[in-house]
Amino acid sequence: MKARLLALLSGVLLGTVSESSLAPVLPFLARAFGVGPEAAQGVASAGLLGAALAYLPLAWFGGRVGAARLFRLGLLLHSLLALLLFSASSLGQVYALRFLQGVATAMVVGLVPGLATSSFPQARGYAMGMVAGTVAAGTLLGPALGGMAASLEARYVFLLPLPFALLALALARHLPGLPPQRADLRALLRAPGFMAALLATALYFLHTLGTTVVLAFFLSEEGVSPAAIGGLLLLGPLQLLLLGPWAGRAADRRGYAPVALRGAYLLVGAGVAFALLPLLHPLWGAGLGLVLLGTGRALFQAANNAQVLSLAPKGLEGLASGALSVARTLGQALGSALGGLVYAFLDRPYGHAPAFALTVLLFSLLMASSAWLVQGRGEGA
């Protein structure tokens, strides 16, 4: 693997791990600050909101001041904010610092899809498969690491991104730039099929993080330790690291939309199973459900991300990369918030097990909407 791609993937891991590692820690943060699930999930949502607001402006800015320079600055700021979060003493401070860390995350990962596809124009699906596999791995590896950190003390979760920041900094000396970019957001959004593919991206990430957050609360109520929750969630990233490049090559051969559609169908079916299996046995049922979800996630994410970028007009790749990151981050933020709110609402009258199953079924229904958007929309490759 080339050093420039490894640098980009390390930056992706920094951003995704810093967000997703919070999932198994949220129940313990809620207890530490004496708040409910709906308030605790704000720790995750604050960072995602900061990133969502910053992605598009920073994607435009990076094309003018230098993407590599912006990338390195984001790594430094992210690391500093991680240290400040570790020493924060109130929930209000955590909210504010997480919002700023979200902006730093946008500086790191906002240009990665555009840089990756511009570096490999004849293997766009493969490049996005590698990025998608890393995003998915970081999104699901984070909870495993978060659970291990929380077994020591909840605040250690904020230090998890630091090793990835150091690795990315060491490899980021010779990153390529983007070709000259335009800032015509209207032309980008009007490109045929672009908005449908982008909305499908948001719904996918809503499903991914939402189901992860709800699973963490369910297993916590079942008396499962944070380390065990984190270890269980390690199944997903191991599967996706293996399947991401394969899924990307499949999308290059067979077309982005058809492969994304297959992945969406798999996610809907596996989501129904995932809602029910943990009710039979919390650990074994959740583990089997996560394995079933893995193939669908690999196929959908690699193909859909490549499709979004392939639909962008020439000269708008950087802006499309930022829009893709906005869709991902907003989907994660909404998934985290919706998961916490719906689970808390249903838990009070029905108990945690029915609340888990019903919330996951709701997310599966939303994923079905993503399949509808993908079907017959956009170009195949």
Q: Of 155, 127, 136, which Cα lies nearest the Cα of 32?
A: 155
Neighbouring C-beta atoms of residue 48, cutoff 10 Å:
27
**Which range among 23-32, 102-111, 323-332 shows the weakest confidence by mean pLDDT?**
23-32
State the pTM of this model. 0.72
11-15, 211-215, 321-325, 333-337: lowest mean pLDDT where? 321-325
How far is the first Cα of the chain from the last one, in angstroms, to the nearest whole number? 24
Structure confidence at residue 200 (pLDDT): 92
Lowest mean pLDDT segment, chosen from 35-49, 122-136, 353-367: 122-136
State the chain's mean pLDDT as an integer. 82
Class of 3-174+182-374 per CATH?
A: mainly alpha
pLDDT confidence tier of residue 90, bands split at 50, 70 and 90: confident
In the structure, what pLDDT confidence band is assigned to residue 378 with cuts at 50, 70 and 90? very low
Angle at 190 between CA 184 and CA 192, to 5 degrees: 130
What is the per-residue pLDDT across 207-248, written as a single tens digit (0 to 9) for each? 988 888 888 888 888 888 877 887 787 777 777 777 877 887
Q: Specify the higher pLDDT residue, 297 or 316.
A: 297
Mean pLDDT (whole number) for 66-94: 87
Q: Where are the domains of the chain?
A: 3-174+182-374
pLDDT given for residue 179 in this prediction = 60
**Tokens, residue 111:** 């240009």
Average pLDDT, integer, range 276-301: 88
Helix (H) or strand (E) holding 43: helix 42-65
Q: Which residue has the higher pLDDT, 1 or 243?
A: 243
User: 20-58 pLDDT, tens per residue?
Assistant: 788 778 777 777 777 776 777 778 888 888 888 888 788
Q: Please say if the pLDDT value at position 63 is more than 70.
A: no
Share of the chain above pLDDT 90, in %: 19
